[in-house]
Amino acid sequence: MYHENKGADKVYNEASKLQTRMKSIESEIILLENNIGFFAKSKNADKLIVDFQKKIALSKQEIETIKEQLKVIHSVKEK
């Protein structure tokens, strides 16, 4: 019985870490998108804008990966 709770705690902790990481990434995306707006007003900002867009795309991919990991964790928790 004790071991089952310990395993469930690990699963819960991992899910919690993933959710925290996802929220952090979402905040980063908002900040990057906001900053793009400032760069759009300056000259020669094209390279920065492209770099930020790449970072945003990678961050969105990471969020999708985290969502898939959370689906797996939730399916395990339901069993």
Model pTM score: 0.81
Above 50 in pLDDT, residue 38?
yes
> Quick check: 66 and 21 in contact, CB under 8 A?
yes
Task: Please check the confidence at residue 1 and state whether its pLDDT lies above 50.
Answer: no
Average model confidence (pLDDT) across the chain: 87
Residues with Cβ within 8 Å of residue 32, at least 6 apart in sequence = 52, 55, 56, 59
Length of the chain: 79
Per-residue pLDDT at 45: 83
Determine the CATH number of domain 2-77. Answer: 1.10.287
In the chain, what are the domain boundaries? Answer: 2-77
